[in-house]
């Protein structure tokens, strides 16, 4: 059984993960409207991955005898200045998610909730990958700037992303 404090922190983190999914869906819709189907597909896959992350937390709380408390989600922005802005915001968002995961992990350590620290290890590793990928893409969009052929090349490249199988925290690779 986890503490009420840990349960509340995990419920809050689950909210952040669901918000991430909403944000990436909004970014996908923007990219689709901008006739960039590859970017839209990439963001849609990212949204699915974030929902999977939220459900991992959902299951962990239930597995530990905790209570799920779904929180209200704020609506994400619907308009962006440019594809570059989309990926800059995505990178900033991933940095915020990392800070949030780190806070929850720190709480688990402080509370000596070893089951949650083991569970959260996967999220810590995942955020390293998320920040690396989002930072790389944000930088590539800065390098491309207003170059339409470069933007179309990135759109084509990002369209190749698989639908996003996510590693399980109970079965890390």
Residue 146: the pLDDT is 81
Q: Which of 74, 59, 67, 50 is nearest to 5 (CA)?
A: 67
Which residues 6+ apart lie within 8 Å of 98 measured at CB? 127, 130, 131
User: In DSSP terms, which residues pair with 168 in a beta bridge?
Assistant: 171
For residue 106, name the pLDDT band (cuts at 50, 70, 90): very high
User: In DSSP terms, which residues pair with 97 in a beta bridge?
Assistant: none
The C-alpha atoms of residue 8 and residue 30 are separated, in whole angstroms, by 33
Q: Are 45 and 104 in contact (CB under 8 A)?
A: no
Domains of the chain as residue ranges with CATH: 4-72+79-158 (1.20.1260.10)
Taking only the tens place, the pLDDT of each residue in 139-149 is: 999 999 888 99
Taking only the tens place, the pLDDT of each residue in 18-63 is: 999 999 999 999 999 999 999 999 999 999 999 999 999 999 999 9
Q: Is the pLDDT of residue 166 over 50?
A: no
- The pTM assigned to this predicted structure is 0.90
């Amino acid at each position: 059984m986890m503490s009420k404090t840990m349960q509340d922190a995990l419920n809050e983190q689950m909210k952040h993960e669901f918000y991430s999914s909403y944000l990436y869906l909004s970014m996908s819709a923007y990219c689709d409207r901008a006739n960039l189907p590859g970017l839209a597909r990439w963001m849609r896959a990212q949204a699915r991955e974030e929902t999977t992350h939220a459900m991992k937390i959902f299951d962990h709380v239930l597995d530990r005898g905790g209570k799920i408390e779904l929180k209200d989600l704020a609506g994400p922005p619907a308009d962006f200045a440019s594809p570059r802005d989309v990926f800059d915001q995505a990178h900033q968002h991933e940095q915020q998610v990392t800070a949030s995961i780190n806070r929850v992990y720190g709480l688990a350590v402080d509370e000596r909730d070893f089951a949650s620290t083991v569970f959260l290890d996967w999220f810590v590793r995942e955020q390293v990958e998320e920040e690396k990928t989002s930072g790389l893409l944000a930088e590539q969009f800065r390098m491309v700037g207003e170059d339409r052929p470069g933007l179309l090349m990135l759109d084509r490249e990002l369209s190749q992303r698989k639908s996003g199988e996510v590693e399980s925290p109970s079965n890390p690779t």
